[in-house]
Amino acid sequence: MTLTEMTAEAARRLSRKRYAHSLAVAAQAVKLASLYGENPVRAYTAAVLHDIAREFSADRLNRLLPESCFDPYRNPPVLLHGFAGERIAAAEFSVNDLEVLEAIRYHTLGFPGMGKTAQIVFVADYISRDRNFVGEAFRRRIVSLPSEEAVLAVIEATEDYFTKTGRPLHPDTEKEAAFLRRKRK
């Protein structure tokens, strides 16, 4: 499938709002890829498909991922959409690049040791143009950082927001932050 075909198919499957979000994330991901010297096609592919399962019902997500290894992500079931999206990308969009699949899988929560494309999509998903809760100053700061520091800054911003609303970070996100802080030393 070409990138044009993939994009058209994403448009067909997603709501207008989710499709616009996917394109905004893809544009941001391509910019980050060029800043970090990473492959822009990988970044675009992962970003345009990252939320391909975001609008699936809880039932559909649970049916797609019956294995017990997904149990830590079933509550709420929306946490499964990256894992489900990875399967859809592989089975229905013929994506077989493991870095792209990993980026779709981990875009919601992060994961310790995730690769560059996954870092790019994780960051792009937070600072894309359609995210009106993100200020210009924060966006500028993020794009001035190396990818691992950018991931950490996004996790810290999420943590601040979650603390205000009394929500804990998911253990995978905690582990990714701890992993990146250890690497700094």
Q: Counting contacts by CB under 5 A, is residue 172 touching Fe ion?
A: no
Closest contact distance (angstroms) between CB of 105 and Fe ion is 11
**Cα–Cα distance measured from residue 122 to residue 141, given in angstroms and rounded to the nearest whole number:** 16
Per-residue x/- marks for Fe ion, 54-93, CB under 5 A? Answer: ----------------------------------------
Backbone dihedral angles phi then psi of residue 93, each to the nearest 5 degrees = -120, 10
**Cα–Cα distance measured from residue 109 to residue 145, given in angstroms and rounded to the nearest whole number:** 20
Which residues, 39 to 58, sit near Fe ion by CB under 5 A? 51
H helix or E strand, kind and range, residue 61: helix 58-64
Closest contact distance (angstroms) between CB of 124 and Fe ion is 9
Closest contact distance (angstroms) between CB of 171 and Fe ion is 18
- Which tokens go with 178? 């701890």
The C-alpha R_g of the chain, in whole angstroms, comes to 16
Closest contact distance (angstroms) between CB of 169 and Fe ion is 16
Q: Counting contacts by CB under 5 A, is residue 125 touching Fe ion?
A: yes
Residues within the interface to Fe ion (CB under 5 A): 51, 125
